[in-house]
Each structure stands twice: as structure tokens, then as C-alpha cells.
Structure 1
């Protein structure tokens, strides 16, 4: 079973700041780093490090050739990543303050240049037991969901960045949607405030430091977050989802998948960086053993 991820690929430029600057303020930064990021790339790496068979479909510019190599080095199939001559690789400018909170500016770049041919080729090669994953950081999200539904594969939708008017029309095409608790509440407002009425069979909801829950056809599982000293929350949600979907794709019970994902996210926020901070399956195993 493979997970085919139609996902963004970004170059992350991270600035460590004493505080978030106000309008018109010039602020000297305390540190700077460049790394691989983007919700799609982060999730692919999280899934691969959790032991899943991952195929990444996306696009980069010639300035981002190293990002494709990084994904390949993780054991991810990168044959579906297009290299475009006239587009810049997507990038994010990230400010991180001493409390590990962040503010992020994103340029879509090549992430907004996926083609229907890429979708048709990738989905056409999928098997019935495969999962398709996509987010809102690329173009053609409706076409991706429609192709997956027509193929009959299982579809997970990481509905971020969250725009309700964009998310709602896709609900009847996906099997699982992944949102935070505020986004889940926003969706539920259209269904009488009942999260169980949101028209998807599986709903993954994160509550930040409180924990996360998984609703599967009315059955609800909840796991609290592990308490750790957070230094950088960038990519925590992507790590959580990637680890969770890797487990679910192997038919793990919801409670087990939540526990694995919670541990992975706890480890990730205790390290600096996004993709570089994502733990391996062995890291997660050792962490859970130490907390038993």
C-alpha cells in the first residue's frame, strides 16, 4: 500500500526573533537557517520516516533541485515532481519567537503549476489499497480529489490553509479530512454545529497542546498531547498527520495511530526546524517506551 501525496514543496527561510515586529519596525534577528519545507514535503517526509511507501507529486523551479534530492534521499519516489524552467520553487519566510510560536509568509511559486497530466499519470498508476493525500497549498485540488474518487482510492484531505468556501465543495469526494479544532467548528456550523454531521466518514481533529481526536463513522478516539519543552512548532501539524496516515494506511487502529502521531509531533516540536526535525519510527518507539 502506497500513499500518493500531491503536495507543496517549499524552501523555508527561518528567522529567530526576540518578538514579532510591529508595522514599520526594523528588527535584528537572532538566527537564520534555510531548509526544506512546505506542508506537502513535510507530510511526505513524516510518512516516509514512519515507514510508509510514499510517492510525491509536485513541482519545483530549477532553484530547488536540492529539495527533490532531499525527498529522494528519504526513500520517497520523486518521479512525479516536475522541474519548471520559468517558475521559482515555493518558499516560506518564517519568524519564530522565544516561546516557539511562529508567523509565516508563503510564496506558492511552482506549487501552483501542477498539471492535469501529472494528476492523470499518478492517479492512473494507483492501486485500490493506496491512499491519496492532498492539501490546499497547490492548484487543481478539485481535479485531484475528482480523479481519486473516480479511481476509487481512499482520499485524505489536509484542509490547510483553511478556506471554508474551498473546503466544503470537496467534502463529498474525500474519505478523511484533517483540520484543527477551530476549523472543525467552522465546518460543523454548516451542519447544525454537529461535527459528526460533516459529510466525511473519517475526521481527524487536532487540539494543539490538548491532544487530538479521530472520528471514524461515529466512533470517537482521543489521545492527549505529550508534555515536552517546545522550541519550534513549525511543521508540527504536518508531522502529526504524516505519522497518523502512515499508521492508518497499514490498517492500524485509530487509537494506535493517534498515539504514534502524538509522539512524533511531541518530538518534532522539541527540535528546531520543520522537515529536518521530523522523527523516525525508531525515535518514536524509543520515546513511547520512555513514557510507558
Structure 2
């Protein structure tokens, strides 16, 4: 299971707060911790722990945070030969409430220095992989180039369209699996996703644009999936959430593994749901996943 991953690498500065701070307010944090993060890195670490050979294409800064982030990826079994150094490492300032909710301020740093030219240099790596996994925390032109190369070689392309932004049809037509959440689905389609009928209509619109399968993550309401052959719901698992940071990333990393090892779509989503449910019971976006969850 070789997965090429184009995405972001951050250092997360996490502050535990009673509630998300209001405009003009100063709020004391009850604790502070530093974790390795970034949507790309989070997904890579999860997929690697689940047995995939993950080859990361991205950038960190020429700073101590960059060294820390690269050492973390290497320690978690992620291949980092295609990670370059430039500028300052990306950072996320994260408030986590007692209820497990979060609010995030993102500084992209070196992530926005990942260029289409860098992707072209890694064309052989992408073409040799079974799947390409991406998010939107690097420039959109960079994402387009990676998807273009993967599509030319008939690879599975999994795009998590987060943070939310409008995507051109020329990109969507080459996406094998698109994994928006409820808000991102509404932004992509212009359809309010307040009812099941609306969710189905929004997914159908994306299929008409050429997306192979849409998997919508809906938090406590579970997930909805749809392609030309099948559609359905997968229930969420009830857990005591400690930190929801990285839940979607865990879902995407695990989904990619399930798909690459040949599991059915529904089984892959159920597996991703289980992994994500475990991750939210731990602090930080990259916890060690026990064998009992992997099995």
C-alpha cells in the first residue's frame, strides 16, 4: 500500500480553555501543549500506523519547528525524502474547550511554498503509488498539478477539500473520492445541506461534475456516501470526546488505507469511523493508535 501524500505540516500550539474566546476578551488557559500537526501530516501519520507506506511531499521551515516536525514524521514511519525546507514552519494556534470542541488560527508558513514545480519533480513517486491523498492547506495550483499527474497514470485520487474553497470542474473530474464535511459540501455545491434530500442533491451535483464517489462526514450524525452504483449512511460511534482536532484527518487517512487494501467502500468508511472515534478520545491530532483499533 504505497500512498503519495501532498499536504501540510504544522506545529500545533494547543490551549485548553473553558470556552472559545470572544471578541475583545482575554481568557486564561488552564493548560498548554505542543503537538505535531497539519492536515497532511495528521493523515500521513494515521495511514502509516495502519500499515501504508506513506511518501510525503511538502515543506517545513528552516527552523527548530521544522526539525521537530520531520523527526516526528520519520519516527511514525512516514517517508520524508520529498519534504523540502524553506521559510518558517506552519503553525496552528488551537483552543480546545472542556467539551472537546476547538477553534483554530492557522499560519501556513512553508506549506504555501509548496509549488507545482516541486510536484513535477516528484512525478515518478506519484505514478509509482497506488493512491494520492491531498487536502487544501497547500496552494490550489499545487493540488491541481498533483491530481493531474495522478490522473494521467490512472491512480486513485482522494481529496479532502479542507479548508473549504471553491474548486474548478477541471479538478473535480479527476477526483476518485471526495471527502467534504457538511459545511464544505454546501460551499462546493451552493446547496444548503440541512436535510438528507439536500445532501443527496449536493452529492449528485458533484457526481455530475465527474467525481467518482462522495463521502460526506457529518460529525455525530455519521457519514453519507454516494456514487453511481450505491449510497448509504454509516453511523458514528459514541465516545467521550477529549479533543476533536484531527478527527477528519484520521478519518481520511484510514479511509485511504481501507480503499488501498481493497476493502469495500462501506467497510472502508466503517473502518475510518472507528479510527476517528478513537482519535477524538486522545489529546492532539496524532495519537498512537492501539492494535485493537487497527484490527
- TM superposition score normalised by structure 1: 0.90
Within the alignment, does 1:241 sit opposite 2:242 as a pair?
no
SS of the residue 2:183 aligns to: helix
2:177–2:213 CA contact under 8 A, matched in 1: yes
Q: Who is 1:176 aligned against? A: 177
Q: Match for 1:71 among 73, 89, 109?
A: 73
> Are 2:35 and 1:32 equivalent residues in the alignment?
no
CA-CA distance at 1:278 after TM superposition? 5.2
SS at match of 2:57: strand
Q: 2:3 aligns to what?
A: 3
The alpha-carbon deviation at position 9 of structure 1 amounts to 0.1
Does the CA contact (< 8 Å) of 1:9 and 1:40 recur in 2?
Answer: yes
Per-residue CA deviation, residues 250-291 of structure 1 (Å, 9 max, x unaligned), is 11111211111111111111111111x2524x13146xxxxx
Contact 1:19 1:97 (8 Å CA) reproduced: yes
CA contact (8 A) 1:56 1:78 kept: yes
> In the alignment, is residue 163 of structure 1 matched against residue 165 of structure 2?
yes
| Deviating more after overlay: 6-15 vs 214-223 | 214-223
Structure 1 stretch displaced more, 12-21 or 141-150: 141-150
Residues 197-212 of structure 1 aligned to structure 2 (within 5 Å): 197-198=205-206, 199=209, 200-212=211-223
Asked if the contact 2:158/2:177 (under 8 Å) is kept, the reply is: yes
Equivalent position of 1:152 in the other structure: 154
Distance 1:135 1:183 in 2: 12
Counterpart in the other structure of 1:193: 201
Q: State the distance in 1 between where 2:36 and 2:202 align.
A: 38
Q: 1:222 to 1:193 in 2, by over 3 A?
A: closer
Distance 1:216 1:249, change over 3 A: farther
Work out the CA distance in 1 between the residues paired with 2:84 and 2:52.
22
User: Corresponding residue for 2:225?
Assistant: 214
Give the corresponding residue for 2:293: 284
3-state SS, counterpart of residue 218 of structure 1: coil
Instruction: Write out per-residue CA displacement over residues 54-85 of structure 1, whole angstroms, 9 at most, x where no aligned residue.
Output: 1111100122112111111111111000012x
Question: Following the alignment from structure 1 to structure 2, what is the Cα–Cα distance between the partners of residues 170 and 161?
Answer: 16
**Does the 8 A contact of 1:159 with 1:167 survive in 2?**
no
TM value normalised by structure 2: 0.89
Aligned length, in residue pairs: 281
- Provide the rounded CA distance (Å) in 2 between the counterparts of 1:65 and 1:285: 29
Of stretches 117-126 and 53-62 in structure 1, the one that deviates more from structure 2 is 117-126
Deviation at 1:101, TM superposition (A): 0.7
SS at match of 2:173: helix
The runs of 5 or more residues in structure 2 that have no matched partner are 192-197
